[in-house]
Amino acid sequence: MWAGRAVPEKGMDVVIEIANKLKKDVKLFARHKKEYRKWLNEDIQERITHIKDNISITLAVNKNRLEIVRSYQRSKLFLFPIKWEEPFGLVMVESMACGTPVVVYARGSAIELVKDGETGFVVNPSDEDIRGDWIIKKTGVEGISRFNAYLNSNLVNASLIS
């Protein structure tokens, strides 16, 4: 899953490439303003259209917060391959609060918000990372299962109460 403002520096195009490489379905939740409508409708939609394999890439634009939260809760991973020094990145915190581990590039606030190996994965951006190899190397099925169990909302809630 991916969520954020529909601007090139948020890495939505990278998520599409990763989903295609790994042959995994992905849901993209984009908030956009008029100035990026053309980029979203042409570049991003074209990338989605050109994927020929049997994977589903869903682009949901300007959806309500409840639908996005439900998607966080159902997702195995939240991908956030930002292309700039993100000053905060609320979507990373939202994902972790919903019990979904975050995979981020080591840029901006991501290195402070995501604890590598505990609340998600922090990877160095490189050509290899853009192809999605880092997800295979760092996560694997066991890793995803471990993080989903660790970040289960019931465990998070219990630790906050105690």
Instruction: State the pLDDT at residue 141.
Output: 47
Q: How far apart are CA 138 and CA 35, in angstroms?
A: 36
Sheet holding 78-80, edge to edge: 78-80, 102-105, 120-123
Angle of CA points 67, 69, 74, to nearest 5°: 95
pLDDT tens digits, 52-108: 778 899 999 999 999 999 999 999 889 999 999 998 989 999 999 998 889 898 999
Write down the CATH superfamily of domain 2-161: Glycogen Phosphorylase B; (3.40.50.2000)
Question: Domain ranges in the chain?
Answer: 2-161
Beta bridge partners of 120: 102, 116
Q: How far apart are CA 97 and CA 138, in angstroms?
A: 22
Contact 77, 100 (CB under 8 A): yes
Write the CB contacts of 50 (distance below 8 Å, at least 6 apart in sequence): none
Residue 139 has pLDDT above 70, yes or no: no
Q: How far apart are CA 24 and CA 58, in angstroms?
A: 12
CA of residue 52 relative to chain centroid, distance: 22
Burial classification of residue 161, based on how many CB atoms lie within 10 Å of its CB (0-12 exposed, 13-18 middle, 19 or more buried): exposed
Q: How far apart are CA 73 and CA 7, in angstroms?
A: 24
pLDDT tens digits, 15-58: 998 888 888 899 999 998 788 888 998 999 999 998 877 889 99
Q: How far apart are CA 94 and CA 100, in angstroms?
A: 9
